[in-house]
Every structure is written in C-alpha cells, then in structure tokens.
Structure 1
Amino acid sequence: MLTVLSVEARKLNRSLAALLAVAAPSLIAIFQFFNVMRGKAPMPWEMWMAGSGAIWAFFMLPMSVTALTALVAHMEHGPKSWDHLRALPLARWKIYAAKAICVLTVVAAMSVAVLVFSWVAVRLAVALRPELEPTGTPDLVRHAGTLGLMLCAALLMVAIQLWTALRYSSFVPGLVVGIGGTFFAVVATSAKAGVFLPWQMPVNMLSSEPWRVTTALGLGGGVGLLALIALTLHLSRREVL
C-alpha cells in the first residue's frame, strides 16, 4: 500500500495539485489582507480567523474538492491508463484507496494553509498599518480544531465528488455535481434541511446550534467514511471505467 501511495504522490507532484493547494488558501489570505487594510478601527483576532474559516467551509472547500477530484481522476482518464493500472499485480482496491487518501491529504494540507496564510495576512496588514493591530489573542489551536472538524464533516462530499470523477471519463459530471452542490449549499444556508446537504456540512461546524454541529459531523464524517469504503469496493469491481 505504501508503494501505491508513493506513486500517487509522485503523480500529484507532477500535476497542478500543488498549485491548487496553494492558490485556494492564498485567495482567502489576500481577501483578509485587504479587509484589514481597509479597516477604520482595530477588530478582534477572533473575527479575522473565524472569517477565514467561514469562507473556506462555505465556498472554497467545496470548489477545491471539486477541482482536486477532477484533477486526480483526469490523471488516469486523460492518458487512458486505467487498463494498465488494473492489470498490475496488486489488489485493485488499493489503487482507489490510495487516490482517496491522497485527496484527503491535500485537503488537510490546504486546511492548515488556510490557518497559517490567514494569520500571516493579518500580520502583514498590521505591519503596514500598526494602528489596526487586532485585539485579543489569536486562539490558533481552537481554530485548527474547527478546521479539523470541517475536514471530517467534508468526508461525504469528498466521497461523492471522487466517486463521480473516477466513475466518468469526462470531467463534466464531476464539475456539474460540485457546482450544483455548492450552489444549493449557498442558497440554502439558513434552511434547517441544509444541514443534510453534504456540501453544507463543513460550514455547520461554525453553527451556534449544537444539533447542527453533531448532525453534520455524524453524517459527513460517519456516512462519508462508509461512502469512501463503498466507492473503493464498487470501482475495484468494475471492468470498464
């Protein structure tokens, strides 16, 4: 399994995955930088860090997962290398499990980057405008924990996107699913039923209502893990992709 993971990591390294992993958190950091710069008075650290997490969970995380899963699938769909991969002397499920693990690893790295880049962006803005030094102390550990919960709640979304991207040779179905899911998550933000939408589950980690947090985490994490196992078993039994 380690060999398969190593090969998948090298494939990602030669793709645009690294650019995507840096670009998405950087856009959030740039947005926060200019938000601080246009301020009139100091604001709490909590507002800046929580704001970055909200942007990530609300929009950038779903769209990043959509792009990343399409990229991972296209690495095999593009050169039509599935026949070669499936003919190798190893259990087929390892191929799909390795891809899922790599996707989750990249998303986890992006979550860390959101935290770090946002903190750096605020510090840079304050260096230019010292009078806007945020009040309070940034609780980076707590915000890191929240981002970790968002990642767990996003497992079901990742499973759906990866399943769709690997199942269809065209990247269009995966993009349609991702864009459509994000759209309905945005327009159904205040709806109670929105907590059951996989693309909205990560942002529910910021909810002040405990039932929304536990429901989204249970469905997104628990059902998501089962979905990842199911996609691995399902795709490994298919003869043609």
Structure 2
Amino acid sequence: MLQHLLASEFLKLKRKWAWFLIFLGPFGVVALQALNFGVRYEYLTKQYKDDLWGGLLGNVQSLVPAVLIMGMAIITSIVAHVDHENRSWKHLLSLPINKHSLLLAKFIVSSVLLGVASLLLVVGTVILGVSLRFGLDSIPLMEITKMAFFSYLAALPILALQLWIAVVYSHQGAAITIGILGALFSTYSFKMPDWVIWKWPSLLNNWDVPAYSAYLGMGTALVIFLMATIHFTKRDVEE
C-alpha cells in the first residue's frame, strides 16, 4: 500500500513547482557564495589562506539552516496543498487506506525531495570551490557531505512539524508563516540553547560535535511524527 501511495504522491507533484524549488534552494546558496567570493576574492582568500575549502564550507554552512527550513515549509505546503486544493482529503480518507500510511507517504516524499536538495548542495559546493581554484587534490568531500546531510538530518523535526501543520490546516498561510519565522529564528542559532530544534541545522552544540545535532534531529523527528500521526488519525482534516 505504501508503495502505491508514494507513487501517487510523486505523480501529484508532476505539474507543481516542487522539483524546481528543490534545485533553486541549493543553487541560491551556491550563487550567493559565488558572488561573495567573486566580489571579495582577494580579501577572502587571504583570510582563509590556511584552509580555503574550510573557509568556503563555513560560508556555505552559514546560509544552509535558513534556506533549508524555508524549503521545508514550502515543500510540505505543496505536498499537502495538492489534496486541499483538489478537495480530495475526504475521498482519500474514505478509502481503505491507513491514515498513518498516508501521512508517512507524504513525509517520505518531502524527505526525498529535501535529500535531493542536500545532494545538489554538495555538488554545487564542490563545483564552486573548483571554479574558485581551491584545488582538485584537496577537496574535503566528506566534510562537505557531512555539512549538507547532517544539517538535513538535524532539521527533520522541523520537516515533521511543518508537514503536521500543512496537512491539518487547509489554509497554508499558517504553515508558511511558521516556516518564515523559523528561518529567521535560525539565523540567531548561536544564541539559542541546545534544546531548540531550530538551532540544530546549524550543527552548533555545546559538545562541538555536529553529528550530535543530526542524531537529535532523527530521534526528535520520530517523536514529532508519531504525535502528528496520533493527532491526524483522531481528527478530520479541514477542507
């Protein structure tokens, strides 16, 4: 059943802007850093002369949380709004389909889309570094991959929360507003305590171990998704 639901969810997105937005997010981050380094090349290369790739990675990472959180708000809104827009929720829920499976399919689809965006960010960051002549022989591919995917995994609780809101309420203004506020909030993540989920995508924590933020994200995402499932199965979705 889940396989058919996943196929159906991807089919619904065929004529939407989801895939374009998945490309636009990482492209925007890379383009901004290309502009940053292009305008201030001499200054930045002198500042990061001991570790050019590390300097680039730090600058890219500074933009990732806000873009990722905003992307999650938009993608989950699109995934949920397809059924709100077509008023197909009541029809779906009248079918012999487990509500949990329906919500799980939407979460998996959203996760896959954001996972693709993270992969594109890795590719884009490598291409940018090479274009800036930082050296092919010293590409920190593992560190770039960790930066992109640890941030993604750390942000999964936000994805679960955004999907919960987007599915339950037909008006997507609430979900998008929370996403915007979360993205803005994340820019001040260095001032937040470690328990705030909007801090986790920055990979900053008191242990100074980025992987811990990813572990916290995966565990908390499961809890929030279970809470969302319980709530979703016990109430009617607004039309």
- Distance in 2 separating the partners of 1:199 and 1:134: 32
> What is the letter of the counterpart of residue 201 of structure 1?
W
Q: Is the 8 A contact 1:49 1:115 kept in 2?
A: no
Letter in 1 for 2:199: Q
For structure 1, the 5+ residue unaligned runs are: 127-132
1:65 aligns with 2:72: yes
Structure 1 segment 75-154 matched on structure 2, within 5 A: 75-124=82-131, 126=132, 133-134=133-134, 137-154=138-155
Percentage identity across paired residues of the two chains: 24
Q: Relative to structure 2, which stretch is displaced further, 166-175 or 136-145?
A: 136-145
Q: What stretches of structure 2 of length at least 5 have no aligned partner?
A: none
In the superposition, relative to structure 1, how do residues 30 and 118 fare at CA in structure 2: closer, same or farther (>3 Å)? same
Q: Is the aligned partner of 1:48 residue 2:56?
A: yes
The answer to whether structure 1 residue 191 and structure 2 residue 191 are counterparts is yes
Q: How far apart are 1:184 and its partner, in Å?
A: 2.6
Deviation at 1:211, TM superposition (A): 5.8
On the 8 A contact 2:150/2:210 being kept in 1, the answer is no
Q: Distance in 2 between matches of 1:40 and 1:21?
A: 32
Task: Spell out structure 1 runs of 4+ moving beyond 3 A.
Answer: 211-219
- The amino acid that maps onto 1:160 is L
TM-score when normalising by structure 2? 0.86
Q: CA deviation at 1:35?
A: 2.4
In the superposition, the TM-score normalised over structure 1's length comes to: 0.86
2-structure distance, mates of 1:185, 1:33: 22
1:196 Cα offset (Å): 2.2
Higher normalized helix content (fraction of residues) = 1
Letter paired with 2:92: L
Aligned length: 229
Shift of the 214–25 alpha-carbon distance from structure 1 to 2, 3 Å rule, reads closer
| Shift in Å, 1:213 | 4.4
